Chains A and B, each alone.
Chain A
Amino acid sequence: MSEPADLVVVGAGPAGMAAAVTALAGGLRVVLVDSGPAVGGQFWRHPPEHARVAIPTGDLHHGLREYLALCAALSAGRAAGRLDLRLAHHVWSAVRDDEFAVHAADRREAPRERPVVLRAPRLLVATGAYDRQLPFPGWDLPGVLTIGGLQALLKGGGVAAGSRVALGGTGPFLLPVAAGLAARGIAVVTVCEAADPRAWLRHPGALLRNPGKWAEGAGYAAVLARHRVPVRPRTAITGAEGGERVTSVRIASLTSDGSPRPGTERRVEVDAVGVGWGFAPQLDLLLPFGCELTDSADGNAVVAVDDGQRTTVPGLYAAGEACGVGGAPLAVAEGRLAAESVLADSGAAPALSRKSLVRARATVARQRAFARAMSMAHPVPAAWSSWLTDETVVCRCEEVTAGAVRAACAEGGAHDHRQVKQLTRAGMGWCQGRMCGPAVHCLAAQKRAYVPAERLVATPVTLGALAQLDE
């Protein structure tokens, strides 16, 4: 693609793919950039195209028909010379002067990095989310992974991280991961869901309006029943034990506030564990623009958008989990709406028919209602920190303990995760607080939504690559 682009889309998951496809259909020139080796994001994570026969993962996916249709439309856009698809490009910064400049490291020949600047008058950020973590004793043992990590290894590489696996946390995402592992012959010995499923009954409308969601859930339940995987509501993994690798977990029934019910704790032998407590949206590229945020029902601050996915910064759009965690169908619909706004704001004709536009808007309304009900039904348990001992590592990178974080709050007067960081170094290491941020935020007794620290460099980039930037 030699002519200048009209739009840069960062993130080629469900939202970014749908946005790029709609923008292409409207006649725009689009750059779609993603750090992964294939389009699909985490939800539709695939091995690179050339490896899909050697690593078959098609059976692990939901909504694959939509994925393949989006892939076909992206391929057509490339063939027509209007889509510049940049895979294995790590975006580390996005800035705005007279237009948007997206700085990325081209890592197709990693570890070699080549700096790239992608420019366009409009920018759409669809960077998704990652598993939200709550520390527990032993969560830093090898073999304990995020549930997303277990799934990424399975979907991306056809690899299971263990042969006897316990899953824990909260939210519907536990089910596809359990079902995927079970389908590959892995013994999923327990799925500990902290929430009480009856909490869903308080939101019957959200369930009734989204039959696709419970059909999906029923499909996973059938797989789990066939493989005799026990799903235990109102339980949690409260500890992991082992030496060089996890060998067992402690699971306990929870009281209504989420503290372990005395006398219910028992030990289960495992060689791998997956944990996740909902998701934390990836806002790194958006925060430095100063766009307005809003509180999401799941405890995260997310980017505020209008009904056309416009942020409060002119020319900057967002779609998918960055605007509130809600799953792939919501992300796809938001991506389409965002692209329609880009078209309208560029003076181009709409790409979607009147009917499709109405349908996309209805999907967004319905799926957001579902997402809201989901976050109410699957909260972070109020008393989760009662699982921690003073020795439990909270910040994995700087190895800051729960005792140190508590002391920073009680004696140091820290009121939020930024002040805890200054006092303890929690959040100052390699991951820059991405893993421990939500937990430290909770420990600092915040009732407010979690706003991640602003990171001016969204991913590490070598000085060598920066030096090659001769602009």
Chain B
Amino acid sequence: MSEIVVDGEPLPFVEGQTVAAALVAAGRVAWRTTRVQHRPRGVFCGIGVCFDCLVRIEGTGGQRACLVQAVAGMTVTTGEHDDE
């Protein structure tokens, strides 16, 4: 199994999974808080429509985790606010 790096910690994934699938496989369904009510959010639509699953990838914010293929060594930062 390959690994991505999520908030500094290694997270295994199966080649071909998206970043969201890797997070869900590890039991995580929330990785972001909303701007107004500070509510936890993660994957919802799973197909790139709802923008709930936003993360920062290789330093670039506003990435939909459900659309980005995980690549070995890819750095993912969670806790993305929706106004970033």
Contacts and interface: CB of A to CB of B under 8 A. Distances in A.
Given A111-B68, A142-B40, A149-B43, A431 B49 contact: yes
Interface stretch (A42-50, A66-74, A213-221, A361-369): A42-50
Contacts of A162: 29
A396 B50 contact: yes
Contact of B34 (A51, A55, A152, A399): A399
A54 B14 contact: yes
Given A142-B30, A158-B17, A153 B57 contact: no
Contacts of B24: 153, 157, 159, 161
Contacts of A51: 14-17
A309 interface: no
A435 interface: yes
B66 to A, nearest CB: 7
A277 interface: no
Contacts of B48: 35, 459
Interface string A127-156: 000110000000011111110111111001
A453 to B, nearest CB: 14
Given A148-B47, A157-B25, A142 B66 contact: no
A431 B51 contact: yes
Contacts of B68: 107, 110-111
A111 B63 contact: yes
Residue among B16, B20, B29 facing the most chain A CB atoms (10 A cut-off): B16
Contact of B47 (A110, A111, A149): A149
Residue among B21, B35, B36 facing the most chain A CB atoms (10 A cut-off): B21
- Give the interface residue-count category, chain B: 35 or more
A311 B61 CA distance: 37
Interface string B29-63: 11000111101111111111111101001101011
Nearest to A51: B16
Nearest to A158: B14
Residue among B20, B29, B36, B82 facing the most chain A CB atoms (10 A cut-off): B29
A398 B36 CA distance: 8
B69 interface: yes
Contact of B17 (A35, A47, A107): A47
B72 interface: no
A223 B69 CA distance: 31
A310 B20 CA distance: 37
A245 B63 contact: no
Interface SS majority for chain B: loop
B46 A434 contact: no
B21 A153 contact: yes
Contacts of A48: 16, 69
B29 A111 contact: no
Nearest to A143: B29
A435 B45 contact: yes
Contacts of A158: 14, 17, 21
A210 B2 CA distance: 46
A233 to B, nearest CB: 26
B82 A430 contact: yes
B23 to A, nearest CB: 9
A460 interface: yes
A430 B80 CA distance: 13
B21 A54 contact: no
Contacts of B15: 50-51, 54
A110 B45 CA distance: 20
A141 B44 CA distance: 9
Contact of B25 (A150, A159, A397): A159
Contacts of B62: 460
B33 to A, nearest CB: 11
Contacts of B82: 397, 429-430
Nearest to A140: B39
A272 interface: yes
B14 A153 contact: no
B5 interface: no
B14 to A, nearest CB: 5
A37 interface: yes
A141 B41 CA distance: 7
A429 B67 CA distance: 19
A244 interface: yes
6 contacts: A50-B16, A52-B16, A142-B41, A143-B29, A153-B24, A399-B35
Given A245-B30, A435-B45, 6 more contacts: A111-B63, A144-B44, A245-B40, A396-B50, A399-B39, A435-B50
Nearest 7 Cβ contacts at the A-B interface: A51-B16, A157-B21, A149-B46, A142-B30, A430-B51, A111-B60, A47-B16
